[in-house]
Structure 1
Amino acid sequence: MNCRLGCGACCIAPSITSPIPGMPNGKLAGERCVQLSDDNLCKIFGMDERPEVCSSFSAALDVCGKTNAEALYLISTLECQTS
């Protein structure tokens, strides 16, 4: 599965504990990453500054669902179950 451009659920729903440019302590679950543009695209995609956890994420139907709203729900649910 390919990422849906403009989804951004993986940049909002999960907590990220590694530093992100502009967010040296990472981010909380449900907090929008400062590197997520207004059109929900990663501003540091493909750059060395992008956290490894972000670079290693792969879109999958069981995580991303069929819509952006479903992706936000599924990733938020996974975050709650694993935190």
Structure 2
Amino acid sequence: MKCREGCGACCIAPSISSPIPGMPQGKPAGERCLQLSVENLCNIFGKPERPAVCSAFAADPDVCGNSSEDAIKLIGWWEQMTAA
């Protein structure tokens, strides 16, 4: 599966513990990443300062569902199920 351009769910729903430019402590689940544009595109895509966890994310129907709304719900659910 390819990412849906302008989805942004992977930049909102999960927590990210790695430093992100403008967010040195990472971000909590459900908070919009500061690097996510108003068009829901990553401002640091392909740049070395992009966290490895973000670069490693691969879209999958089990995670992304059929829409951006599905993705927010599913990624949020996965976040809750895997939280320590």
Provide TM-score, normalisation by structure 1: 0.99
Runs (4+) off by over 6 Å? none
1:4-61: CA deviation from partner (whole Å, max 9, x where unpaired): 0000000000000000000000000000000000010000000000000000000000
Aligned residues: 83
Q: Which amino acid aligns with 2:13?
A: A
Whole-Å separation in 2 of the counterparts to 1:80 and 1:62 = 15
State, as a whole percentage, how many aligned pairs show the same letter: 65
1:52 counterpart residue number: 52
1:33 aligns with 2:33: yes
Whole-Å separation in 1 of the counterparts to 2:13 and 2:4 = 15
Whole-Å separation in 1 of the counterparts to 2:28 and 2:40 = 18
1:10 counterpart residue number: 10
Whole-Å separation in 2 of the counterparts to 1:80 and 1:15 = 10
Which sections of structure 1, spanning at least 5 residues, go unmatched? Answer: none
Whole-Å separation in 1 of the counterparts to 2:61 and 2:81 = 18
Whole-Å separation in 2 of the counterparts to 1:73 and 1:61 = 13
What RMSD over aligned residues (CA atoms) do the two structures have, in Å? 0.3
Which sections of structure 2, spanning at least 5 residues, go unmatched? Answer: none
